[in-house]
Structure 1
Amino acid sequence: MMATGSIQTLDPINAKGSGAGYNQYGEPLMYFPDGLYPPEAALVEDYSMSEDGLTYTFNLKQDLTFHDGSEFTAQDAVYTYRRMAESPNSRNKDDIIGQTMTIDHEKDASIAAPEDEETLDDIVPQSLAVRAPDDYTFEFDLASPFEYTLFQIAGGNWAMLPENAVGDIEGYDGEYSYNEFFSTANGGPEYAGLGAFQVDSWTKGSEITLSSFENYWNGEPELDEIRFTVVTSGNTRLNRFKGENAHILEGMPTASFNPDNVSIEETKGSREVGTYTFDDGMEVNYGQIPALTTEYLVFNTLEVPIPVRKAFAYALNQHDVAENVYKGTATPAYHITPPDPYPTFEEGVTSRETYTRHAEEGYQSNTDWAENGYPYGYGETMLGEATQVMEDAGYGPNDMYSVTATTISGNDAYTQVLTTLQSKLRAAHIDMEITEANFGTIISQAINGSMEVFALGDGMEYPGPQNFLRYLHGKNPSGQFTRWGAEGSYYDEELRQFARDTWDEQYAGDDATPETRNEAFQTIEEVNWESVQELPLVNPISQRFWHQGVDVDMYGVMENQTFDDVTIQ
């Protein structure tokens, strides 16, 4: 197979932009079989939740072993969860002690956060409410109920590690240093997971090789080996696949895809499977599924003023992007939340009046709401408005605003979108330079706040709007990619306070209901319209191509799939 970017790390808690294969060598307590939801038990015999929705109890399977031969016990789960919450190496603290799913813990009042913000670094060591009553029972307590808890912990960043493998949290000296355990030296033999395949060798910029693990909990895999080769160019990946130098191709460059070459033969729920015939006559297997993903432009509001962000929105025509760039493999996006998990409103039920606009009718779907309210042109480019908003801000032909937009190397769709915008924005007094970087670099720079504008696609860890919208209501802005509301950023304080109050009262308040949460979700979407922190582009269709001799199922909507039952003729 082929990886689209460098494999930055094997560490689950530092896995943002890590690259390929994590579903093969890592295993969390729960999993999505072939990417289908709801999640099912992987490493556990059974599980239960208390009546108040706060305590989860997992009875672990016995006699399971890590790749290094050590036995998996509840102490390993305690250690794994604590690392995610407490380790300075964790990029996923928000998933375990953040705004949505929060395992109960104590906070150190002496650790200061920026003014009007909170920090996730103030957790008191060893206070996380996770415990092992015995070797095969694992429990944790939530601070408040969260309906997608089992979805969340089925994600790849929750993969189990042996207790005390790395000494980067209090109470553990570590058998290896951080760099040793996740090292590429000598193939990284120190790494031990519970996945169907074990790591044989790994080089960040070139490849990772995995071999079958005979003691996998679900039976020894059929395949002997999986090799992911790093190939950043989409065209090169396509040519290698057509040359039969790769068995599976995950997605195709949009410029090369011809929808007329698709023949759908079977529908399995939302999955469609059939064949794809290349222009030279080669026929391969084909599968597609609407992804729980939104592709969008991210603005660093510390760098990019509000008028410039609005000019981008006026210049963009999402319908045109979906039709002419993605060639029907995506639908136009006007919300950050994808269509399937978007909240619906019963007929006659109205949304709360928002800061940016009010709804006097009960729109019933994502598309209806955007069609009747999106302020920057639904299915059209409003170049006159883009020009006017920039001229009102003092820009003109002799005083252009300069900005740099970064796209993922090898992603021709993002490049096409930005190139099309480039000429339109120039007419609106914006001079945009386009640069490329690999995915891991983009994530690192986004965390550091060193980019102005960048293109990104984000898939949901669970099918709920809060998965994305938790980042857009202005809480803890110094830790968000957009920095909206951080000191020195370009933002409207009244709008931010409205968003904060809405989220705290209607989503997180003691009296919150499913109805008020849905209203909060719609409000935050409209706040994003007004603030243009993230500018939605499309909701894509995920595609897979595989050769005739490969027996693999098309994955489900969660897209997490282990190749333990894949065979090759």
Structure 2
Amino acid sequence: MKRKLSLMLVLMLIITIFVSACSKDSSTTDGSHSKGGSGDEKTLIFGRGADSIQLDPSKVTDGESIYVTNQIYDTLVRYEEESTEVRPALAEEWNVSDDGLTWTFKLREDVKFHDGNDFTAEDVVYNFERWASSSEFIYYGYMFGATDDNLKGIIENVEATDDYEVQITLSEPNAPFIYTLAMPPFGIASPKAVEEYGDDYFKNPVGTGPFIFEEWVPDDTITLVKNDDYFGEVAKIDKVIFRTIPDNGARFMELQSGTIDMMNGLNPQDIETAEADNNLEIIRRPSMNVSYLAMNTDHDGPLSEKLVRQAINHAVDKSELMTLFEGIGKEAKNPIPPSLWGYNDDIESYDYDPEKAKALLAEAGYADGFDVKLHIFSNPRDYMPQPKVTAQAIQEMLKEVNINVEIIESDWDSHLEAVENGKHDMAFLGWTGDNGDPDNFLYVLLDKDNAKKGSAGNIAFYKSDELHDLLKEAQIEMDQDKRTELYLKAQEIIHEDAPWLPIAHTTPPLAAHKKIKNYQPHPTGSEPFNLLDIEE
């Protein structure tokens, strides 16, 4: 009996310990996500609709990758918390010569990479030389005019003039240059790590930023931990976990249940639900984006004809499309958003007129219509929260003018690969501005320099010499009023040639638990998380 009683006591003790352990484990799904019984470790779990493509920021253009790399890397200068004005980062100060060609940067002397190596001027030189070594460094080509024949673009020379001083010489003035350097793709990577990991560096990133890469489980999670030795403001949270949850509704349910702390890609119809929830709040990102349908002008056939592209613009009822955005979108008529200087508000949007569309198609020789494929992404984006439903609506509208649309739906990574290589007839895509300059929209997305298969920013493959000359002139003009005049003219040309059906500019909503404090969403689409906190 005594032995039986002892066994019962042991079993009860084991059960008590097990229940207690389970209770501690379950606490990691909410609250401050404490670990190891310490009770004070703060983990932010951020839910999003798609995984990163890679974690080398110099080789990507997608927001999901940049969202993560923005935590890991620093740039020479960084944007202010609520605007695209720049302030010091890895560079403490800088100056430019009177002719606008020579930029000198004085670097911080107290910075270390996550691998323990000191940050010096030679590391800046290494990164610029790496970016100029191949066309795979996409953003370098977009922003500095690099081509296969001139991989350096306008960057003539980068020299370490001291251990902590770098001089960058341009071949021509570049008005947005200092703002461009704050863009996440120009984060400075550890040369030692790049050499050590080689082709696998994209999944072993090493920077100087407020968070250190820990683990990547593809299509599931990316985990970062706080950099206690960060030269800037050390993060208030200990860990960030980016969770991939493709379905907007499922992601929102996880937010409601407390298994994630914050999310983007909110379904418009869930905004009201979130606002009525005492535990949640809606945070709106300032608008600096555009969503669009690009028509591949490089394909033989109807889309190479301007009249056909104009007809498609007349055949789509954007006011009807805006009902799908449920209050977070406004009709787009230009490639740049109205929040940006240089926006041409005098341009009149193509009016919804199916009869005019039919007349233009007949004039172009397509009175009986034609068949076309529209490539779309399955994952929601801040600039297009419901891509499939939007595509289906456009499909029905174009059917009214005898254009038969087949929708080709792919995951985000596959979609980008297809459209950057020109495999589409028509395609959905969008853009969130990187540096607050019209050049970042018009030159990147519509200039002939960026209509290169394999890395196309201009997925309409639209090539206008007249537009190119205006955009290049605007890049070297340092007077903003004169630049504005050039961009006004550029938008008139684009509107007439109609390589796009501009769809919407959105004010993207994020939803978060109210315990998330001091979070300030940036207009460029991502921001470091070192300033936010979690409070119970």
Determine if the TM-score, normalized by the shorter chain, exceeds 0.5.
Answer: yes
C-alpha displacement of 1:473? 4.5
Matches within 5 A, 1:270-419: 276-278=274-276, 281-303=277-299, 304-306=303-305, 307-322=307-322, 324-343=323-342, 366-367=344-345, 369-370=346-347, 373-374=348-349, 376-377=350-351, 381-396=352-367, 400-410=370-380, 412-419=385-392
Which residue pairs with 2:57 in the alignment?
Answer: 12
C-alpha displacement of 1:11? 0.9
Which residue pairs with 2:131 in the alignment?
Answer: 84
Which one of the candidate residues 174, 190, 204 is aligned to 2:218?
Answer: 204
Moved more, 404-413 or 85-94: 404-413
Mapped to 2, the partners of 1:565 and 1:468 lie a distance apart of 29
RMSD: 2.6
| Compared CA separation, residues 257 and 386, structure 1 to 2 (3 A) | farther
**Is the partner of 1:218 in helix, strand or coil?**
coil
Which residue pairs with 1:472 in the alignment?
Answer: 446
- Structure 1 counterpart of 2:461, which letter? R
**Contact 2:223 2:240 (8 Å CA) reproduced:** yes
- Structure 2 counterpart of 1:407, which letter? F
**Is the partner of 2:508 in helix, strand or coil?**
strand
Moved more, 26-35 or 201-210: 26-35
Q: Is 1:158 the counterpart of 2:186 in the alignment? A: yes
Which residue pairs with 1:359 in the alignment?
Answer: none
> Cα deviations across residues 96-153 of structure 1 (Å, max 9, x unaligned)?
5318xxxxxxxxxxxxxxxxxxx34533799841111121111211222233222211
Which residue pairs with 2:197 in the alignment?
Answer: 176
> Cα deviations across residues 168-207 of structure 1 (Å, max 9, x unaligned)?
xxxxxx333222x234xxxx4xx31111111110133221
Which residue pairs with 2:462 in the alignment?
Answer: 484
Mapped to 2, the partners of 1:30 and 1:560 lie a distance apart of 16
**Contact 1:206 1:229 (8 Å CA) reproduced:** yes
C-alpha displacement of 1:56? 1.6
**Contact 2:376 2:387 (8 Å CA) reproduced:** no
Which residue pairs with 2:518 in the alignment?
Answer: 552
| Percent identity of paired positions between Structure 1 and Structure 2 | 22
User: TM-score, length-normalised on structure 1?
Assistant: 0.77
Which one of the candidate residues 64, 78, 81 is aligned to 2:111?
Answer: 64
C-alpha displacement of 1:440? 2.7
Moved more, 206-215 or 219-228: 219-228
Give unpaired runs (5+ residues) of structure 2: 1-45
Which residue pairs with 1:507 in the alignment?
Answer: 474
| Compared CA separation, residues 7 and 290, structure 1 to 2 (3 A) | closer
Mapped to 1, the partners of 2:120 and 2:290 lie a distance apart of 38
Moved more, 194-203 or 245-254: 245-254
Which one of the candidate residues 498, 518, 523 is aligned to 2:484?
Answer: 518
User: TM-score, length-normalised on structure 2?
Assistant: 0.82
Which residue pairs with 1:348 in the alignment?
Answer: none
C-alpha displacement of 1:22? 1.4
Mapped to 2, the partners of 1:177 and 1:407 lie a distance apart of 30
Which one of the candidate residues 403, 412, 424 is aligned to 1:439?
Answer: 412
Give unpaired runs (5+ residues) of structure 1: 100-118, 167-173, 262-275, 345-365, 486-495
Which one of the candidate residues 25, 28, 40 is aligned to 2:87?
Answer: 40
| Compared CA separation, residues 387 and 149, structure 1 to 2 (3 A) | same
Matches within 5 A, 1:442-461: 442-461=415-434
| Compared CA separation, residues 329 and 221, structure 1 to 2 (3 A) | same
Which residue pairs with 1:170 in the alignment?
Answer: none
Q: Which has the larger radius of gyration?
A: 2
Q: Is 1:428 the counterpart of 2:381 in the alignment? A: no
Which one of the candidate residues 499, 503, 515 is aligned to 1:537?
Answer: 503
Matches within 5 A, 1:220-259: 220-258=234-272
Count of aligned pairs between the two proteins: 476
**Contact 1:34 1:562 (8 Å CA) reproduced:** no
- Which has more helix, going by share of residues? 2
**Is the partner of 1:468 in helix, strand or coil?**
helix
**Contact 2:122 2:160 (8 Å CA) reproduced:** yes
- Structure 2 counterpart of 1:277, which letter? E
